[in-house]
Amino acid sequence: GDGGGETDEGAAGGESNVQLVNEGKLTTCTGLPYKPFQYEEGGDVVGFDVDLVDLVAEDLGVEQEIVDTPFDGIQSGADLNAGKCDLAAAGMTITDVREKNLDFSDPYFEATQALLAKKGSGVTDLASLSGKKLAVQNGTTGFDYAQENAKDVELVNFEDLGLLLTAVETGQVDAGINDNGVLYDWVKEKTDFEVTTEFDTGEEYGIGVKTGNKALLELINKHIAEAKSSGKYDEIYEKWFGKAPESK
Amino acid sequence: MTEVVIEITGLTKSFGQLEVLRGIDLTVTRGQVVCVIGPSGSGKSTLLRCVNLLEEPNSGSVVVNGVELNDPDADIDAARTRIGMVFQSFNLFAHQNVLNNLTLAQRKVLKRDRAKAQEVALANLERVGLSEKVNAMPGELSGGQQQRAAIARALSMDPDVMLFDEPTSALDPELVGEVLSVMRQLATEGMTMLVVTHEMQFAREVADTVLFMDAGVVVEQGPATQVIGNPRQERTKSFLHRVLNPVHVDEK
Amino acid sequence: MTEVVIEITGLTKSFGQLEVLRGIDLTVTRGQVVCVIGPSGSGKSTLLRCVNLLEEPNSGSVVVNGVELNDPDADIDAARTRIGMVFQSFNLFAHQNVLNNLTLAQRKVLKRDRAKAQEVALANLERVGLSEKVNAMPGELSGGQQQRAAIARALSMDPDVMLFDEPTSALDPELVGEVLSVMRQLATEGMTMLVVTHEMQFAREVADTVLFMDAGVVVEQGPATQVIGNPRQERTKSFLHRVLNPVHVDEK
Amino acid sequence: MALSRRKRARLIRGTQYAILVVVAVVFALTADWTRIQQAFFRPEVVREMFPDVITVALLNTVIYTGLGFGFGLALAIPLALMRLSSVAPYRWISGIYVEFFRGLPALLVILAVGNGVPIAFPGAILNKYLALMVALGIVGSAYMAETLRAGIQAVPAGQVEAARSLGMSPMRTTIWVVIPQAFKIILPPLTNELILLTKDSSLALFLGASISEYELTQFGRVALNQYQSLTPVLVAGVCYLIITIPLSYLSRYLEKRGGGKKISSPESTGLDVTP
Amino acid sequence: MALSRRKRARLIRGTQYAILVVVAVVFALTADWTRIQQAFFRPEVVREMFPDVITVALLNTVIYTGLGFGFGLALAIPLALMRLSSVAPYRWISGIYVEFFRGLPALLVILAVGNGVPIAFPGAILNKYLALMVALGIVGSAYMAETLRAGIQAVPAGQVEAARSLGMSPMRTTIWVVIPQAFKIILPPLTNELILLTKDSSLALFLGASISEYELTQFGRVALNQYQSLTPVLVAGVCYLIITIPLSYLSRYLEKRGGGKKISSPESTGLDVTP
Ligand SMILES: Nc1ncnc2c1ncn2[C@@H]1O[C@H](COP(=O)(O)OP(=O)(O)OP(=O)(O)O)[C@@H](O)[C@H]1O
Ligand SMILES: Nc1ncnc2c1ncn2[C@@H]1O[C@H](COP(=O)(O)OP(=O)(O)OP(=O)(O)O)[C@@H](O)[C@H]1O
Ligand SMILES: [Mg+2]
Ligand SMILES: [Mg+2]
């Protein structure tokens, strides 16, 4: 619906008056690569989060522009505060600590921490990693989880998921911890590897905006709700994960 | 006609602990040629540099053309335009050709217009025999030519007195002559000159007064025939023996 | 007793396009002192440097002590120990004291033991009047002292012939004498010497033969009294006029 | 030991060539060439990267570097003048600034500007170009200030004395004699600083960038992840060399023109030291 | 225009001090001091960081730098000798190596070694220390090779000629005359390269690190996120200065001892150029 888009834009502009940091663009902070939520393919950034935020951008009648920036700047709110972007959609879990530094939308995705290891390596859980190396990503909830729960395990801190996965793949570390969504996606291609366990951390992803940016937050929440009720959400989900969402 | 051009009284100068000049008195009258000789490190260059205040004296007075230079209220730049200085190492402006070397200060300091400055420059280049090198860069000239250009540059400011600090020491032996002969000609034309030199033949022939310095004091002073030909002081004698008769310094 | 020490025949040397030596013949016999004079750039240094092969000649032959140096199969290092070289810029080893400067090559090349090398070194320092500077570093010496130490270093290898390239040009005038008198003494002791110099008084008194070079050729050659005192060639005359009578080069 | 020149020369050169040939042969035989090609040079990856690696990444590298260099120079000029001032506090301020920023890694400065400043001063909005310009400019300015100062002081004292004894004031001397000559002295090291900044611009990825803002390193890094091959890094590297090698030749040319020493002939230096 | 010395000096100094005072006062009045303290210096954060910032981070920075420097020097010596060889292919190989790695950002080299090599050569396990040693070593070696070469060539030709005319062979000349003198010449620039490597070691965070392997920049960066304050970056910065500033004084001291030029007095240089 082109016509619908126009009316929506008028309505959004009229009721909420969203201020954008870059005129004519909805700027999204994200940390590449984070497949399938966002990653580069053929010169474009694509993925689940990208499609979701595009719904908001369409409503505003602007293009989405994606800024690739280290994840710990995103989750700390620094990038939003610095005006680097309007929102952060980076497969980011809603946590109390992060809530202090930025405002989260309603949850749009359920996730949990999971362990990645080479098949047949005997790494099945944190206990089996005792004395071994576990790759974590700087600033992530996996980092926090491992720090709390993985005693006697050497945590190796990587800048981004790409570096982490490469380290696991090339054997620099014995295993890696990260969100289940991205790990399952990765082992689809790398069949030598498997997700050996999930930690059932019960996390939910949210889209972040600068603290106090009510107008934008409301607009995002509106679209998340709309997408879920209209079936648009399921459509996008299936496009990126190859199957319909299990629970909802 | 014994107008005083340079009058130095009780001049002392130290670098840190090192007393380089220890009470120098010197008077140079108009048209006089004074040569300063003495061993290395005796303070000859420092004396000369005090005359145009390139070094600031510790005490004593330096009066040039009636201006007390050591007075903080003296217009030192104006005074310097009347004092030509020629250095051992020529110091032509490396980034300018010969003509611009001669006209720069005329135009910026004396405020002469370009035409006038060039006229003066060309006349002075003629005087030192360098007319055909007007457009050469300093690097393209021999040492002797550079030094003659430097003399012409100083002369272009129409100075009352010329200071020379070992103007031929950095030159190949066969190039010394061309510079000395320009200096001799200047002396003949009546220029007041204060010359630090090791060229005894020049001092003997051209100087009205020769000053022998050692360790920061004037040891002996008088006509060339006396100081060089028949020195009275032991220090002067032994210096002159070393310089004039180098092959036999061990005998004696 | 007219044993030939250096025999140079048809020597030529070019740097790229520039022909610096254009056919030099020269014979130096044992005990002879030969002085080479001539304008800057005439090839004097290059000639000297060809004698110990610091420059490789383009053609011609250089025979020293019966060894044809230009032959690629010659043991050049061995030959060089018999040829002492003294440079304008002294070139004492900057990181070693005077004693080590004198013993280094004796020990590493002649394989003398430390005691023997020091004995030779001390004797030669005595010879040049530097006994009290045994432990000084080069930087602590005056130019004249450095040059005398350099002479002693060359002498410590017991050379058959000594080459001097303007050994006094880099010195203050009062320090020239101490070096010249050491050289005169060496000549008296019968050392074979080939000396590039601008010191006419030295050449006149000490040289058996004086060679005047210009533009890569020997223009005039003969006893000092003749070449310096009564030159036959026009080029020699004008050079000597410039050097001996610098104040009046413009007359004539 | 006492070999003739010809024999020694033959021996030395012979040995060296022999070693070279042996090493080359061993390398050629043992190396797995298909593997090496796969690792370092996959033509299809190179093809994928063009033209963006030039039109976007190389261009952005040049832009960021240029901005940093310009801003750095603008900071460096007053800093150098302050360093040469007769007023002591100016000398101190400039001295402390230079010592401080010369001693810090560029990455730390970029982190401080890009991440720290917004944290420290909430509300401060830093545009990517602005942030890089400031960060790279600060990094460069400390070096450039020293270069400018050294260049000014490297003008031989005799040139200043000559001007002063012609009656030129300190200011006139500076303008007409010192600066024109310092300029020539300063150009080669300034070119070198441009090279250093080009390389430091690789740290821009810490400030985040949209695809159109990628410079060479970020571009290469993203592609490295995408293609799982060293080829993108190699392509990015070659692009850096396209900038830096000509600049370093320029710098050496300027240095020589400014009057370097003549290099003496091999025999006279005796420096054939390889065993 | 034609002011007397005293008046000119007074005017110049007066103006400069006036500007200084005005700037200082404006700054003191407009700045929000509590805010600045909060942003840059929160004592409790500093306290939290100790002693790990020293015992772990600073120590690791020194270790990584030392490893890189040692490996770099070990590479640089043969490279410099090759550059001076009479065998042309050696000169080419060494020349290409130096040009290549001098022109690349350190970050790209670290990425290539730490990330690229394992991808390119499956099975290769790179220990963090080893990877950094190799990467920083390669970065440093290109510079150090040039420094060594230049140092050897900077020994005055006259020294070599003197040794050769005493009958010393090229090899003996090199060992007994050239190397001892080159050493003195090389020390200051080598110290500077140690400083550069110290700063480049900040890029180690790209290789991934366990907490005990953090060096200063990564340590500061993690703390920056934790405390949301610039304080950790400042603390890390000060730690770098603890290494780099003494080294740079050492370098300058060595340079002076090696015989720099005397600096002339202010009046004779006429360089009071500030307006
Ligand atoms: N700027 C300076 N700082 C410190 N010492 C200096 C300075 N200028 C000169 N001296 C010292 O002052 C002494 C006298 O120097 P000066 O140059 O006047 O001697 P000189 O008679 O000209 O010698 P020369 O014949 O070698 O030129 C020397 O010992 C010198 O080292
Ligand atoms: N290594 C070199 N490469 C190129 N040209 C050289 C070299 N050495 C000397 N020349 C040139 O060869 C010519 C003769 O030089 P040489 O040093 O032999 O002259 P000289 O008679 O000793 O002069 P001077 O009295 O100035 O020492 C000069 O034109 C000089 O520029
Ligand atoms: Mg002097
Ligand atoms: Mg010569």
Domain spans in chain E, listed from the N-terminal domain onward: 42-257
| Residues pairing with C132 in the sheet | none
Is the pLDDT reported for residue A20 higher than 70? yes
- Bridge partners of B11, per DSSP, are B24
In this structure, are residues A113 and A198 in contact, taking their beta carbons and an 8 Å threshold? yes
| Atom 13 of ligand 2: nearest residue by CA position | C41
Contact C248 B39 (CB under 8 A): no
Q: Which B residues, 206 through 245, put their C-beta within 8 Å of a C-beta on chain C?
A: 206, 239, 242-243, 245
Task: State the residue for tokens 């619908």.
Answer: A4
Which residue's alpha carbon is at the smallest distance from atom 10 of ligand 1? B15
Q: How many CB atoms are closer than 10 A to CB E252?
A: 14
Task: Give residues with Cβ within 8 angstroms of A11, minimum separation 6.
Answer: none
- pLDDT value at position A7? 38
Ligand 1 centroid, distance to D160 Cα (angstroms): 18
Distance of CA C98 from the midpoint of ligand 4 (Å) = 26
E257 Cβ contact list (under 8 Å, min separation 6): none
Decide if C81 contacts C159 (C-beta within 8 A): yes
Using CA positions, which residue lies closest to atom 3 of ligand 2?
C15
CA pair distance D65, D136, nearest whole angstrom: 8
Pocket of ligand 2 (CB under 6 A): B 172; C 15, 18, 20, 38, 40-46; D 265
Q: What confidence tens digit (pLDDT) does each residue in D217-267 have?
A: 988 888 877 777 788 889 999 999 999 999 999 998 988 886 543 322 233
* Touching, C vs E (3+ Cβ pairs under 8 A): yes
Give the residue from B202, B233, B191 showing the smallest Cα distance to B28. B191
Q: Which long-range contacts (CB under 8 A, 24 or more apart) does A123-130 make?
A: A123/A174, A123/A175, A123/A196, A124/A196, A124/A197, A125/A196, A125/A197, A126/A150, A126/A153, A129/A153, A129/A174, A129/A175
- Residue D274's pLDDT band, with cuts at 50, 70 and 90, is very low
Residues of A in contact with E228 (CB under 8 A): 76-78, 101
Residue D91 has a pLDDT of 93
Task: Quote the distance between the C-alpha of residue C104 and its chain's center.
Answer: 21
A133 CB near a chain E CB, below 8 Å? yes
Question: Residue A81 pLDDT > 50, yes or no?
Answer: yes
Predicted pLDDT of residue D114: 77
Of the listed ligands, the closest to the CA of C164 is 4
Which among D44, D225, D228 is the top mutation candidate for probing chain A, defined by the most A β-carbons within 10 Å of its own β-carbon? Answer: D225
Closest residue (by CA) to atom 7 of ligand 2? C15
* pLDDT lower than 50: segments of chain B: none
pLDDT at D122: 62
Please, which residues 190-219 of chain B have a Cβ atom closer than 8 Å to chain E? none
Cβ <8 Å between B83 and D165: yes
Query: Given an 8 Å threshold on Cβ–Cβ distance, is E172 in contact with C85?
Result: no
Ligand 3 centre to CA of B47 (Å) is 9
Q: Which residue of E has its CA nearest to C78?
A: E167
Residue with tokens 């730049």: B77
CB contact under 8 A, B76 and E268: no
- pTM for this model (two decimals): 0.86
Which residues of chain C lie closer than 8 angstroms to D267, CB-CB?
A: 54-56
Ligand closest in space to the Cα of B212: 1
Neighbours of ion ligand 4 (CB under 5 A): C 45
Q: In the predicted model, what is the mean pLDDT of chain E?
A: 84
What is the per-residue pLDDT for C116?
Answer: 96
List CB contacts of C250: < 8 A, sequence separation 6 or more. B177, B178, B181, B185
pLDDT in tens, D159-168: 999 999 999 9
* Residues 109-138, chain B, touching D (beta carbon < 8 A): 109-110
Q: Is the ipTM of this complex over 0.90?
A: no
Q: Name every residue whose Cβ is closer than 8 Å to that of residue C173 and which is 6 or more positions away in sequence.
A: B198, B242, B243, B246
At E273 the pLDDT is: 37
Quick one: average pLDDT of A139-159? 86
Sign of CA dihedral D105, D111, D116, D117: positive
- Is 50 exceeded by the pLDDT of residue E3? yes
B–D interface: beta-carbon pairs under 8 A? 59
Write b or e for each residue in A100-115: b if 16 or more Cβ atoms lie within 10 A of its Cβ, otherwise e: ebbbbbeebbebbbbb
C54, C73, C78 member nearest D6 (Cβ): C73
Q: Which residue has the higher pLDDT, A247 or B195?
A: B195
Q: What is the pLDDT of residue B166?
A: 95
Q: D143 with D97: CB under 8 angstroms?
A: no
Partner residue facing D20 (CB), from E38, E87, E248:
E87
- The burial class, CB within 10 Å (0-12 / 13-18 / 19+), for B221 is middle
pLDDT bin (cut points 50, 70, 90) of residue A15 is very low
Residue D1 has pLDDT above 60, yes or no: no
- What spacing in Å lies between the alpha carbon of B20 and ligand 1's midpoint? 7
**What's the CA dihedral at C78, C83, C85, C91 to 10 degrees?**
20
Q: Determine, for residues B77 and E2 on separate chains, whether the beta-carbon distance falls below 8 Å.
A: yes
The CATH number corresponding to E42-257 among 1.10.3720.10, 3.60.150.10, 3.30.950.10, 1.10.630.10 equals: 1.10.3720.10
% residues pLDDT > 90 (chain D): 48
Q: Record the tokens describing residue D178, joined without a space.
A: 């010192």
Q: Tell me the HSE value of C55 on the side-chain side, using a 13 A CA sphere.
A: 21
How far B16 CA lies from chain E's nearest CA (Å)? 12
Measured torsion, CA atoms of residues D112, D114, D116, D122, in degrees rounded to the nearest 10: 150
B95–D contact, CB cutoff 8 A: yes
Cα distances (angstroms) measured from residue D163 to each of B69, B140, E268 = 18, 21, 10
Token pair for B230: 């028949």
Ligand 1, atom 18: closest residue by C-alpha:
B43
Contacting residues for A238 by C-beta, under 8 A, at least 6 apart: A244
- Provide the pLDDT confidence category of residue E164 given band limits of 50, 70 and 90: very high
Mean residue pLDDT across chain A: 84
Does E160 contact chain C (CB < 8 Å)? no
Q: Can chain A be said to touch chain C, i.e. do they have 3 or more Cβ pairs within 8 angstroms?
A: no
A243: tokens are 């199957």
Environment class of residue E142 by beta-carbon count within 10 Å: exposed (0-12), middle (13-18) or buried (19+)? buried
Contacts of D108 in chain E (CB under 8 A): 202, 216-217, 220, 233, 236-237, 240
Judge if the beta carbon of residue B197 lies within 6 A of ligand 1.
no
**Contact call for B and E: 3+ CB–CB distances under 8 Å:** yes
Q: Which of B24, B36, B44, when mutated, tests ligand 1's pocket best, judged by the most ligand atoms within 8 Å of its CB?
A: B44
pLDDT digits (tens, 9 = 90+) for C92-144: 999 999 999 999 999 999 999 999 999 999 999 999 999 999 999 999 999 99
Mapped onto helix, strand or coil, the DSSP state of residue B12 is strand
Rounded Cα gap, residues E271 and D152, in angstroms: 8
Greater pLDDT, A45 or D70 = D70
Flag whether residue D167 sits within 8 Å of chain B, measured between CB atoms.
Answer: yes
Tell me, what's the pLDDT at A190? Answer: 85
Mean pLDDT across C187-200? 95
Q: What is the pLDDT of residues C37-68, one digit of tens each?
A: 999 999 999 999 999 999 999 999 999 999 99
Q: Does B202 touch chain C (CB under 8 A)?
A: yes
pLDDT tens sequence across A96-118: 888 888 999 999 988 899 999 99
Q: Is the pLDDT of residue D205 over 90?
A: no
Distance of CA C40 from the midpoint of ligand 2 (Å)? 8
Over range E142-161, report the average pLDDT: 93
Ligand 1 contact via B42 beta carbon (within 6 Å): yes
Say if residue D60's pLDDT is above 90.
Answer: yes
For range E237-249, the mean pLDDT: 94
**Interface membership of E28 toward B (CB under 8 Å):** no
Rg of chain C over Cα atoms, rounded to whole angstroms, equals 18
Q: Does B68 touch chain E (CB under 8 A)?
A: no
